[in-house]
Amino acid sequence: MAVERTLSIIKPDAVAKNVVGQILSRFEQAGLSIAAAKMVQLSQADAEGFYAEHKERPFFKDLVSFMISGPVVVQVLEGEGAVLKNRDLMGATNPKEAAAGTIRADFAESIDANAVHGSDSATSAAREIGYFFAETELCQRTR
């Protein structure tokens, strides 16, 4: 499998619960490495632009308000099959449907406050990484 990068966001609910370290630990234990990371308070425009693909969805307004309700931790994860591996670690969007042992099953409260974001494809990952990080901010972690 090829080495890939994916964008991960620890959402405001998980930051508020002080489980940032536990979530990052899961990525590392699964063999993913952090290639870039920062804590940021998103503006409304930041959140709307990031989730632009969902702008016609009924939950868009709630999603944007939730994402700006507190700081988030944004990171680039690097490793073999990083996009799918991260989606597996995250679990289903609705924590009630998330498999046992996944991040959302263990830390998410609801479909809105669902602890983490992860890119859903290599194409999304490229766009989402570029949304938050300059090329010079990415550290190559895999040789």
Catalytic residue positions? 117
Q: Does 88 bind ligand GDP (CB under 6 A)?
A: no
Cα distance from N-terminal residue to C-terminal residue, the chain:
14
Rounded-to-10 torsion of CA 117, 121, 122, 127 = -60
Contact set for ligand GDP, span 29-68 (CB under 6 A): 54, 59, 62-63
Q: Which is nearer to ligand GDP, 52 or 139 (CB)?
A: 52
* Residue 80 interaction partner, one of Mg ion, ligand GDP, none, beta carbon < 5-8 Å per kind: none
Q: Does 114 bind ligand GDP (CB under 6 A)?
A: yes
C-alpha dist (Å) from residue 31 to 51, 65, 88, 138: 28, 33, 13, 18
Q: Write down the least CB distance from residue 54 to ligand GDP, Å.
A: 6
Sign of CA dihedral 106, 112, 116, 120: positive
* Cα 135 to chain centroid, rounded: 18
Contact set for Mg ion, span 79-138 (CB under 5 A): 120
**Residues near ligand GDP, by CB under 6 A:** 54, 59, 62-63, 93, 111-112, 114, 117, 120
